Every structure is written in C-alpha cells, then in structure tokens.
Structure 1
Amino acid sequence: MLVSLTLVVATALSASAHYTFPRVAGGGDWQHVRRADNFQSNGFVGNVNSEQMRCFQSNHQGAQATLTVAAGSSVPYHASQGVYHPGPMAFYMARVPDGQSVSSWKGDGAVWFKIYHEQPGFGQQLTWGSSNKATFSAPIPSCIKAGNYLLRAEHLGLHSAGSPGGAQFYISCAQLEVTGGGSTEPPNKVSFPGAYQANHPGIQININWPIPTSYKNPGPDVFKC
C-alpha cells in the first residue's frame, strides 16, 4: 500500500512539473489551439525527429475555431500553469497555402519561420524570463501577407539536457487569420521535424556546470520586417 501511494504521489508530482500550451487571447482551452497529444498527460516531445515536433499532434486535427488578429499586433499565448523548467520560449509561424483549409493543413515542409526566441541572463546561473510565467506574447510581424497561419509555441526544457535526448519540448499550434500586413515573404524557412538536431549546442547542453557564458538558440534566426 505504501509503495502504491508513493508511486501515485511521484506520478502526480511529475505531471504537475510539466505543462501544456492550450489557449490564446481570450478563448478557452483548445478552442483556437489544436489539441496536443499531451492534453491529459502534460508530457513532452523528446525526439527532435518525431512528427510531434510540429504541433505535438499525431492526427493533425484542427482546432474548434480560428482567431483573427492584425499584422503588427501581439497574441497572448497561455500555458496551463507557470512554466516550471529552465529554458527558452520560442514562436514560429507558417502560412497556410491559398485554397487550403487552416483546419486540415498539416504544416509539413519548409514553411516555418521564427518570430521570437528567448535568450537567458548570464551570471552564477542562467536565468530565463519565461520561468514561472503562464502568459507569453507572440509578436505577429507587420509586413507578412494576410491569410491563415499556424502559430507554433515551443518551450524547451533544459534541466536534463546534459545527456543525449534529455531536452524536453512543450509545443502546441494555434490557428490564426492575419489581417492587414504587407507582401514580405520571410526567408530561412524550416520544417518540423528537420529544423533541429539532437546534438545542437542549444539542445544538448549542461546548464548546471560549468555555467555557460553564452547560449545559441536552435533553429533559424528570428525574422524581422
């Protein structure tokens, strides 16, 4: 009985240390965000070559609705609880091809461009602005074309990343209709999976010792208009 109780408590603590990204703006959970495979488990993606690296989905099922936002605005993206693990927050976007539905488009191929990534503070330890936060601001570039997009939220947990395969990715994708904007086509687009390598120094890294004095985010540079 004691062993069973200990296992239950350990499982609960493990789940509570993890998180999902289920909501944008003023909507409900999984309303404008595609329901990720971890919606119950709060689990993570550990294999950078997994198709779940795209939107943390196995079935590519669309969200209930699409959020309309203006180019040049910011979209509040909410975690299910404060982000517990140390590591960078990042956002990517991908434009749905004209004539295709945002609800059924898979987002495959080299279609993703990065709009934000977080750098740590350096000192006696790395400090992250995302730590314990539950709401993040995704900046929608003012010059991109109007249309339907997937907005991909990614938090990379680095607490166990000193060993191969130890990094933890917490991911989801929101469905957006972007209005206004311009005609700029972002360069340096990448695919998921494919954008990251497991041995990238920003993915396989010991953040505890020796304390890093620099950090290289995985993936492309942040797109700026």
Structure 2
Amino acid sequence: MFIRPYIPAKTQPVRDLTSPLLVCRATQMSPSATKILPVVAGSQLTVEWHHYNDQDSDNVISPSHRGPCLVYMAPLESNGQGYSWFKIYEQGYDATKNMWCTDVVREAHGKLTVTIPTEINNGDYLLRTEIIALHNAKVVGGAQLFPNCVQITVTGATFGSPELHPIPGIYNSTDPGILFNIYKEGGATYEIPGPPVYPPPAQ
C-alpha cells in the first residue's frame, strides 16, 4: 500500500551499483503508484523484510546472507533522483553478540525499528530501506543489495539541512563495506558503506 512496487522476483538483489534499480528496486517509480503513510518526526517506524511471504513464520532471509541494514530518506518530489538522499540509520556487526543486522532482523521475524529524525523539514519523503548481503562480496560485483522504498509524510519536525547524496553514487564496487570477505575478515573489521548517519549521534 505504502511501498513502491518492487521487481516481481522478491529475492532478486541488485548487484550493479550504477543501476537505476539501486534507488528502490522498483518497477514503478511514479509517486502516484503508492499511498503515503503519515509519520510524526521523532517517532519510531517499523519496517519489515520477508523472504517468500509476509508472515512471521517466514525465514525472512537466508541465514547465509549476513550483512548490514541501512535506511535513507529523500524528499518525495525528487523521486529519488540526483543529490537527494541522506542516511538516517545503519547497523552492521555487533561484536558483543556476534550478530549482524540481518541476524537481528531474522530473530525479529523480519522487523526492524528506526526513528524518524526531528532535525528535518516537514513534508513528503521516500524512506529507503536496504540490506546488503555479503556472502559473495569477496569479489567485485558479489555484494547483493536489497533496497525497497516506502512513501511517508512527516509532521512535527524542526528545520534541518542534511548533506544530500545521489543513489546510485553512494557506493563504489571497491568500497571496504561492499568488497569484503566476510569469512576471512570477520565482522569486527567491517566498515558500513555510504555517508554518515544524519543527524550525527550525540557525543
């Protein structure tokens, strides 16, 4: 209902970091193809991933497909084009628990909760969620990216001016977080790709 229609093969990743599919993995990029979900700035929004169906019993993603989760936002009027994106969330590897974000999502039956920043402008946005599976990422072109986009309208925000980035354009094929041997290097050395999270975490 609020999700941009994605490619028919739900489990098909994006490997080409220059592909238009990297924006939302969408077959229909028209804003009118999707309704808009009202969200209050500072509130939490739960997104879901599923492997084959949309039930809690689904295994969400293969346990071999381990890697980070990232969430970006862009003004809806941009339709995700050009320098319009800023990152609001990232989670990679937790050494204390020996868990990647994908492990956390699997344990939560596909759910991940993020907070909508208050330091932005009110208005309509694309919210882009992404999992990067690293099981084949030891070779160039091996990382598997699974982006999807939700349309939201934000109220109750204060003024903000995050630095904007293009998608495609935020990742290069040789970035440490894209070209990574998960079996040899281990999660403790992993660098999450892309720009820093906005707003910056409190020191």
Which of 85, 94, 103 is the matching residue for 1:112?
A: 85
Larger-Rg structure = 1
- Structure 1 212/178 Cα, relative in aligned 2: closer, same or farther at 3 Å? closer
Q: Which residue of 1 aligns with 2:12?
A: 43
1:123-175 per-residue CA deviation (whole Å, 9 max, x = no partner) reads 8x962133114011121001211100000000000011001100000111000
State the Cα distance separating 1:58 from its structure 2 match: 4.4
- Looking at secondary structure, tell me which structure has more strand per residue: 2
Q: Which amino acid aligns with 1:73?
A: S
Q: Which residue of 2 aligns with 1:74?
A: 44
- Structure 1 146/34 Cα, relative in aligned 2: closer, same or farther at 3 Å? same
How many residue pairs are counted as aligned between the two chains?
185
Match of 2:73, SS state, is strand
User: Structure 2 length normalisation: TM-score?
Assistant: 0.84
Question: CA contact under 8 A between 1:167 and 1:203: conserved in structure 2?
Answer: yes
Distance in 1 separating the partners of 2:126 and 2:178: 24
RMSD (Å), alpha carbons: 1.9
1:7-61 per-residue CA deviation (whole Å, 9 max, x = no partner) reads xxxxxxxxxxxxxxxxxxxxxxxx1000111x33420101111111111124413
Alignment gaps of 5+ in structure 2: 52-59
Distance in 1 separating the partners of 2:146 and 2:28: 17
Which of 43, 61, 66 is the matching residue for 1:83?
A: 61
State the Cα distance separating 1:96 from its structure 2 match: 2.9
Alignment gaps of 5+ in structure 1: 1-30, 98-104
Q: Which amino acid aligns with 1:127?
A: M
State the Cα distance separating 1:72 from its structure 2 match: 0.4
User: Structure 1 length normalisation: TM-score?
Assistant: 0.76
1:63-105 per-residue CA deviation (whole Å, 9 max, x = no partner) reads 43110000001111111242331000000001234xxxxxxx5
Q: Which runs of 4+ in 1 moved over 6 A?
A: none
